[in-house]
Chains A and B, each alone.
Chain A
Amino acid sequence: MLAQIGKRFLTVIPSLIGVIIVTFLLTRVLPGDTASYFAGPAATPQAIAEIRTKLGLDKPLPVQFADYVAALVKGDLGQSLTTGQAVTKDIAARLPASAELTLAGLFLAMSIALPLGVMAAVRQGSWIDHLCRIIATAGVSLPVFFTGLLLVYVFYFILGWTPAPLGRLDVFYSEPARVTGFLLIDSLIAGEFETFRAAFAQLILPAVTLAIFSLAPITRMTRASMLAVLGADFVRTARASGLDSSTIIGTYAFRNAMLPVVTTLGMVFSFLLGANVLVEKVFAWPGIGSYAVEALIASDYAPIQGFVLTMAILYVLLNLMIDILYGVIDPRVRLEG
């Protein structure tokens, strides 16, 4: 198993190299003078020249690439003009907010989509199957920022059930001592239940928005693969052997049906990480997505490139985790390896 995981790690390397080359190229194709872009709109010619030598833009391209990789290894992604801090530091500070939101959205989506997809497959043609089909079609058509705004209007403005869509925590509460960076977990560790409740109230709408968005592909895939498995010979055999249907569905069919679902999770994560940016903008969520959006507006390029690279590396690692998870669920993959 360990050798297997080691081998999977090796497959990550070409993707990482590709990602680093592309982000490097993205830093060099800036229209006009790269140095003046990095210096910002208000820089003096002197500052621009300084930045040019500092960035090594007067050297040949392969040397620049080597420098870029060397800086990356040291965790240096440049300086943000807007915050005045190292991009790596900014991103590290904001990443937990994005991670908490994304994971909460995914968790919510899975806990609705999996039972719904299974029920739709088991009771094919029933109302739940139709509901499943409507969700699958509507979910992919809804612009995620639009859903978010509708939810804010209904649950904040009309009903007043949720707090204003302004970040992770109401200003009246102080952040709990940072352990994981996840407010829900940190507040529990610190034993501040009131803070936990406040953070949860802030999280619920953005998480639901993300969940609605990612519900469609997971539901559709669960239904389709569950249908395929329920029609398989081994399920018929299990049924003929007199096992009750909850054992068949829960133990035999579900575990096998999960395999294609786990594979689609890769695609779901691609959408989710992108949608995250939009949701963060709608809810003023202080994650790395809104960090990148703020930098975009200020034409501050180092943070954007740092953001793209971070997201890509995260995505590559998530795909690796999904691959490993696949091996854990399906012993056949382990044996073939």
Chain B
Amino acid sequence: MADVGKLEPAPLRFDAPPSTSFFAHARHVVSENPITGLASGLFLLIVVAALLGPSLVPFDPLMSDTAAALKPPTWKHWFGTDQLGRDIFSRVIVATRLDFAIAVLSVVLVFVFGGLAGVMAGFFGGWIDKLVGRIADTIMAFPLFVLAMGIVAALGNSVTNIVIATAIINFPLYVRVARAEANVRREAGFVQAARLSGNSDWRLLLTQIVPNIMPIMAVQVSLTMGYAILNAAGLSFIGLGVRPPTPEWGIMVAEGAAFIVSGEWWIAFFPGLALMLAVFCFNLLGDGVRDLVDPQRRN
């Protein structure tokens, strides 16, 4: 990584054409930065746990067994048991689906609405631009997590509203990126050409602008996934959205918090670790996707 910045004369190579396939490029990115490969592996693991979790785990995540309560990790219970004797390993794995779903859904929501609002603002300008800009500025005037708390408290304490709140606080970010990208392409040659061929504004927007800013928006998605999952877990940590006994990382850490001071570390530690690894994985993967799509912004 440290040598990237140095200007060394590149050896002349005629065997590799400059336009390699996407997969070859992806392989190059991964091989240059093995951490991205590691993150991809972790991502696969998360996806598998999210899809198949409930059928993989050794115990029922809701089954309590008071005789085996508060046991440290053993061969039978890999991550130990909680205050009701539930198997923490099973609960951590099963929770993946819910946490992953909240993050994905909120990002999809803001990707569609924020992206569209931003593109329209950048492409049409005028009052749409002013309105969208004003909304985004107003959201940015709040500390974002605090606004999310207020939204969930107002809309009602449910998982759906956590998804909505997480989408809303990410809105300005998506608007800004989509607006800037649409704005620079508004008068681009290919757009002018399409306009001269008699396409309407909306057609230009959807067939010329949107497909062209998709890669940049994909980078944005992967960069905000980690933040979305962190935000959702934070909300459920303070008791919003997910209700016990539902297994979810944030609420499991909250349940284990009371036992930290008496030394039962495993109840909060393993769900917290899962959360941390997931966020870490998404952040690294986000950097990887950026390297893949938008090499100029590499740092």
A→B interface (CB under 8 Å): 14-15, 18-19, 21-23, 26-27, 29-31, 125, 137-138, 140-146, 149-150, 152-153, 156-157, 164-165, 224, 269-275, 277-278, 281-282, 292-293, 296-297, 301, 304-305, 307-308, 311-312, 315-316
Contacts and interface: CB of A to CB of B under 8 A. Distances in A.
Interface stretch (B49-57, B78-86, B233-241): B233-241
Given A26-B154, A141-B226, A273 B272 contact: no
Dominant SS among interface residues on chain A: helix
B220 to A, nearest CB: 16
A274 B145 contact: yes
The 4 closest A-B pairs by CB, nearest first: A274-B145, A18-B138, A146-B272, A273-B143
25 contacts: A26-B150, A26-B151, A125-B2, A138-B280, A141-B226, A141-B280, A143-B275, A145-B254, A145-B257, A149-B256, A149-B269, A149-B272, A150-B269, A150-B272, A153-B260, A153-B263, A153-B265, A157-B262, A165-B261, A273-B146, A274-B143, A274-B145, A301-B154, A304-B149, A308-B149
B25 interface: no
Contacts of A311: 142-143, 146
Contacts of A281: 237-238
A144 B138 CA distance: 26
Contact of A149 (B2, B146, B257): B257
A24 to B, nearest CB: 11
* Interface residues of B, dominant DSSP: helix
Nearest to B283: A141
Given A137-B284, A146-B275, A274-B234, 8 more contacts: A18-B138, A26-B150, A149-B260, A149-B272, A271-B145, A281-B238, A301-B153, A315-B142
B141 interface: yes
Nearest to A26: B154
B29 interface: no
Contact of A296 (B138, B147, B156, B240): B240
Contacts of B240: 296
Contact of B239 (A141, A152, A296): A296
Given A31-B155, A277-B238, A308-B149, A142 B142 contact: no
Contacts of A275: 145
Contact of A142 (B2, B147, B262, B276): B276
Contacts of B153: 26, 296, 301, 304-305
B149 A296 contact: yes
B253 interface: yes
Contact of A143 (B134, B144, B276): B276
B239 A293 contact: yes
A141 B250 CA distance: 14
A304 B260 contact: no
Interface centre among B154, B265, B268, B279 (most CB of A within 10 A): B154
Interface of B: 2, 134, 137-138, 141-151, 153-156, 226, 230, 233-234, 237-240, 250, 253-254, 256-257, 260-263, 265, 268-269, 272-273, 275-276, 279-280, 283-284, 299
Contacts of A138: 280
Contacts, number: 155
Contact of B234 (A141, A269, A278): A278
Given A18-B134, A312-B141, A27 B154 contact: yes
Nearest to B156: A31
Contact of B143 (A21, A140, A270): A270
Contacts of B254: 145
B275 A19 contact: no
Given A30-B154, A146-B275, A146-B276, A15 B141 contact: yes
Given A145-B237, A301-B153, A304-B153, A312 B142 contact: yes
B279 A141 contact: yes
Contact of B261 (A156, A271, A273, A312): A156
B142 A149 contact: no
A312 B143 contact: yes
A30 to B, nearest CB: 6
A114 to B, nearest CB: 20
Contacts of B2: 125
A304 B147 CA distance: 10
Contacts of B151: 26
Contacts of A315: 141-143
B263 A157 contact: yes
A173 to B, nearest CB: 20
A272 B144 CA distance: 10
B253 A22 contact: no
Contacts of B260: 149, 152-153, 157
A202 to B, nearest CB: 14
A231 to B, nearest CB: 11
A59 B261 CA distance: 51
Nearest to A303: B153
B226 A140 contact: yes
Contact of B145 (A14, A137, A224, A277): A277
B149 A292 contact: yes
Nearest to A126: B2
